Structure 1
Amino acid sequence: METIGIIGYGSMADMMVQKWLERGVLHARQLMIHTRSDTERLHQLKETYQDVNICSLDDISASCDVVFVCVPPLAVLDVLDQLRPAKKALHIVSVAAAVTLEKLMQYTNQPVSRYIPTLTSAVGTGVSLVAHGETAGQEARERLHRLLSAFSIVREVEENRFDAASNLTSSSPGFIAAIFEEMARAAVRNSELSLDEAYECLTYALLGTGKLLVERGLTFAETVERVATKGGITGEGAAVIQQQAPQMFDDLFTQTMKKYDQLKSQIDEADKHH
């Protein structure tokens, strides 16, 4: 029976663990968790699933088959340093942005992969991005794919496309929420609607649009066509977006890619002083 280690227990780690346990993919006794902060989230998990092991890093490196490193980017290399004396083959999966496979492989001789989760997996959907180091064998890759498939669509992406793809999977729920927050506020400024009414209308419109796209296989362009009759009101609004949104989204990608580069530089700097 395989044993899964989790290092760090923030919201993404909790999402993964809860999904595996809810769906019966893993039993609580197969999970070993190490975290430096004793959070309410961890207490709730332990209350619901008494068999989950809260343990040391040494226990994880001695017993686990795969370990998910769920700590902030600048803490990843320290964790790998402490995992070095693993006594058995241990597939290390880093969940951090900007810590490259090359950097991971400098710090461990164990097989490594990167995984970018998405908050939408909390409701059993969304795309999990995965990239593997060349040392990760077929068996390790398949096991990771199976674990992540429990709550998401798994897509293997070349690492040089990882950051842009992360904007579309991991960050996009935040971007989408920011866009529709502004749309709701514009509705209030330009009408008699209350903010709560605007939120409700938009929330269900988002849910329904997502279902149409997925269940009917519609593209974004086809959806615009279906709603926007010739010379009608929706077409007027869509034209405003098509005119003004490209610049906003170009700026979004410019800023986020710059941030990834800054983070990579900080990690390189920390590596030099390690």
Structure 2
Amino acid sequence: MKIGFIGTGSMGTVLIESFIRSGALQPSSVMASNRSRDKVERLAAQYPGLTAADSNKQVASACSTVFLCVRPLVFKTVIDEIKSCVKPDTTVISITSPVLLKHLESSLPCKVAKVIPSITNGVLSGAALCIYGERMSDQDRAALEWLVGMIGKPVRVSEQFTRVASDISSCGPAFLAYFVQKLVDAAVEVAGLPREEATRLAADMVLGTGKLLNEGGFTPETLRRRVAVPGGIIEAGLELMERELDTTFVRLLQATHAKYDEDVEKVEQQFYGQIVE
């Protein structure tokens, strides 16, 4: 049984490398294609046994499960290319949120699902969102979640919550990294702490905080209350953040949702030639 990957950009490569590193897949079980063949050939050289396919059709014909790791506006072109090659028992998996299950199910004669990964899956951690089409049986879902579970925590979500869940699990690492970057910048500017040391301290802090929230029995609110002594230094900092960041995260999600709606509209136009409500 081969698992196929169409698209070996950033997330496609993360998935391939993570599945191999975790032991979920052997390189000989992986076939990949990419618009730029050089990228696939580099992966094949790095992981002997991995098959660098000559075309997307080859991947779709040879693999029982195919991950589509391409940009939203490329999906229609790729699907039109492979739809005659997939079999009814093939599972095609999208890793992008603006391409909806209805787009996939109306265009492909096979089982379809969505898995929204996170960069954290690259270190075999974090969540991976799982959304299933109607043709996926309970056995199909269990098999996919076993595979995904080797590189992270599979979390089933309704498609209507895909965007906001992705904001946390997939976009969140970038948002959190931005916060960490700004905290490090401030430590360097205000106190002259060497940047390397500040970065190391911040990274250890993020790791430890994650463990407290996952394993230590804390919620974000209880952790904040436990650390912040009334009238103390931390409370002074939190009061400033409360004033300055009051609506920041609401506006952040509004911005990501607006871009998502824009992308969905463009995808709708490609699949149907018009916007479908």
Q: TM-score range by the shorter chain?
A: over 0.9
Task: Give the 3-state SS of the residue equivalent to 2:99 in structure 1.
Answer: coil
Aligned partner of 2:24: which letter? V
Aligned partner of 2:63: which letter? C
Contact 1:31 1:52 in 2 (8 A): yes
Name the structure 1 match of 2:152: 152
Matched, 1:71 2:70: yes
Shift of 1:32: 1.2
Task: Give the 3-state SS of the residue equivalent to 1:246 in structure 2.
Answer: coil
Q: Encode CA deviations 1:80-129: one digit per residue, 9 max, x unaligned.
A: 11111135221010012211111111211211111111001111111100
Which shows bigger deviation, 177-186 or 106-115? 177-186
Instruction: Give the root-mean-square deviation of aligned CA atoms.
Output: 1.8
Name the structure 1 match of 2:32: 33
Task: Give the 3-state SS of the residue equivalent to 2:247 in structure 1.
Answer: helix
Matched, 1:10 2:9: yes
Matched residues in 2 for 1:84 and 1:192: separation? 59
Name the structure 1 match of 2:124: 124
Q: Percent identity over the alignment?
A: 29
Aligned partner of 2:47: which letter? Y
Name the structure 1 match of 2:46: 48
Matched residues in 2 for 1:190 and 1:13: separation? 40
Aligned partner of 1:220: which letter? P
Matched residues in 2 for 1:87 and 1:234: separation? 57
Name the structure 2 match of 1:249: 249
Matched, 1:234 2:262: no
Matched residues in 1 for 2:185 and 2:20: separation? 39
Shift of 1:207: 1.7
Give ranges in structure 2 of 5+ residues lacking alignment. Answer: none
Matched residues in 1 for 2:93 and 2:214: separation? 29
Give ranges in structure 1 of 5+ residues lacking alignment. Answer: none
Matched residues in 2 for 1:87 and 1:159: separation? 24
Name the structure 1 match of 2:139: 139
Aligned partner of 1:9: which letter? T
Contact 2:86 2:109 in 1 (8 A): no
Contact 1:76 1:96 in 2 (8 A): no
Which shows bigger deviation, 58-67 or 147-156? 58-67
Runs (4+) off by over 3 Å: 194-197
Q: Encode CA deviations 1:134-157: one digit per residue, 9 max, x unaligned.
A: 111222212211110001000010
TM-score (norm 1): 0.93
Aligned partner of 2:217: which letter? G
Q: Encode CA deviations 1:202-237: one digit per residue, 9 max, x unaligned.
A: 222112211222221321112212211222111111
Shift of 1:272: 4.1
TM-score (norm 2): 0.92
Shift of 1:270: 2.3
Task: Give the 3-state SS of the residue equivalent to 1:46 in structure 2.
Answer: helix
Matched residues in 2 for 1:77 and 1:246: separation? 40
Would the alpha carbon gap of residues 214 and 37 (structure 1) be closer, same or farther in structure 2, given more than 3 Å must change? same
Aligned partner of 1:141: which letter? R
| Aligned 1:195-274 pairs, distance under 5 A | 195-273=195-273
Count of aligned pairs: 272
Task: Give the 3-state SS of the residue equivalent to 1:113 in structure 2.
Answer: strand
Aligned partner of 1:6: which letter? F
Matched residues in 1 for 2:56 and 2:193: separation? 54
Matched residues in 1 for 2:93 and 2:272: separation? 23
Contact 1:68 1:95 in 2 (8 A): yes
Aligned partner of 1:121: which letter? N
